[in-house]
Structure 1
Amino acid sequence: MVFRPAHLSDIPGMSAVRLAVTENVLRDPALITPADYADYLAQRGRGWVAEAEESGRIVGFAVVDLQQHSVWALFVHPDFDQQGIGRKLHHLMLAWYFAHTPEPVWLSTDPGTRAEEFYRRQGWQATGRTGSGEVRFELSQTAWQQRLAADSHAR
């Protein structure tokens, strides 16, 4: 698996992953356009992709928004689930984010999903619900650094 910064040319592959997920399903695919991906990648923040070495296929991606201090996306194609891809993308994204700002970062996800449990295991703190009923999480730079220290001691 190759992990690298996302490029504008990766948008079709990223979109394919987003539309393939079985949790946190995008109910109306027209709501997120290629222009949205481009804005987040080139203007608002940064993104990373996981690319299968053999095929060059994008199998996961993460995007963080430095302007709104939020995670815009973290998705792994269901065919590549449970291989550590999401965790590696999560790490790359947060390392970059906290190298650029000390501001806490937030995200939201559907309750009762594996994504919710993933974020809890990664040290994110639930802060309530969004208007649409998603669980809202925050992660401070201090909590991120503590998580990194705990991970390095566990090895």
Structure 2
Amino acid sequence: MHFREAQLTDIPALFDVRYSVTENVLRNRALVTVADTEDYLTRRGKGWVCEVDNRIVGFGITDLLDHSIWALFLRPEYVGHGIGKRLHRLLLDWYFAQTLETIWLSTGPGTRAEEFYRRQGWRESGRTANGEVRFEMTKEEWQNQSTRFS
């Protein structure tokens, strides 16, 4: 496994990963565009990828402007190998090195992702307008989690 910062040339592979998931499926593909992804990787935040045998199998992108995790997705066959945890750590370490602002994310209720975020120490803060579970984490909470899992 090789982890590195995401590049604009990775965008087609990021979409391949995004479209491969079986939970939190992107039903309307027009909602997330190449231009959006370019913006998140260059102006709004930063992303990382995991490669196995020179193939991107997972990625994460954090949004510094909206103070959120914009994306964290793995190909289904790579779930449970520690890739999500490593990408998660890269996202949050970078984010909290930039700002003290609380970060948030949302995910579908009853999904593996919901359980993953709970295990990583995210605090549920309600529901979004479309019914997703909303989570938040402060820098202090992240530092406490990082110490616990080190």
TM-score range, shorter chain: over 0.9
Q: Supply the distance in 1 between the matched residues of 2:49 and 2:71 (Cα, whole angstroms).
A: 11
Aligned twin of 1:132: 130
> Once the two structures are superposed, what CA deviation does each residue of 1:22-45 show, in whole Å capped at 9, x if it has no partner?
000001112111111100000000
Which runs of 4 or more aligned residues in structure 1 lie more than 2 Å from their structure 2 counterparts after TM superposition? none
Name the aligned partner's letter for residue 42 of structure 2.
A
1:111 aligns with 2:109: yes
Distance in 2 (CA, whole Å) between partners of 1:104 and 1:72 is 14
Q: Secondary structure at the match of 1:115?
A: helix
SS at match of 1:37: helix
- Which residue of 1 is the match for residue 100 of structure 2? 102
Residue 64 of structure 1 corresponds to: 62
Residue in 1 aligned with 2:3? 3
Residue range with higher mean Cα deviation, 58-67 or 24-33: 24-33
| Aligned residues: CA RMSD | 0.6
Q: How many residues align?
A: 150
5+ long unaligned stretches in structure 1:
none
What is the identity, as a one-letter code, of the residue corresponding to 1:38? E
Which residue does 2:148 correspond to in 1?
150
Instruction: Give the distance between the partners of 2:79 and 2:149, measured in 1 at CA.
Output: 21
Q: CA deviation at 1:151?
A: 1.2
Give the TM-score normalised by the residue count of structure 2. Answer: 0.99
Give the counterpart letter for 1:109 in structure 2: T
**TM-score, length-normalised on structure 1?**
0.95
State the partner residue of 2:39: 39
**Distance in 1 (alpha carbons) for counterparts of 2:68 and 2:95:** 10
Give unpaired runs (5+ residues) of structure 2. Answer: none
What is the percentage of aligned positions where both structures have the same residue? 59
Q: Deviations over 1:29-69 (max 9, x none)?
A: 121111111000000000000011x2x11100000000000
Q: Which residue of 2 aligns with 1:13?
A: 13
Taking the aligned partners of 2:7 and 2:70, their CA distance within structure 1 comes to: 16
- 1:99-129 Cα offsets, whole Å, 9 max, x none, are 0001110000000000000000000000000
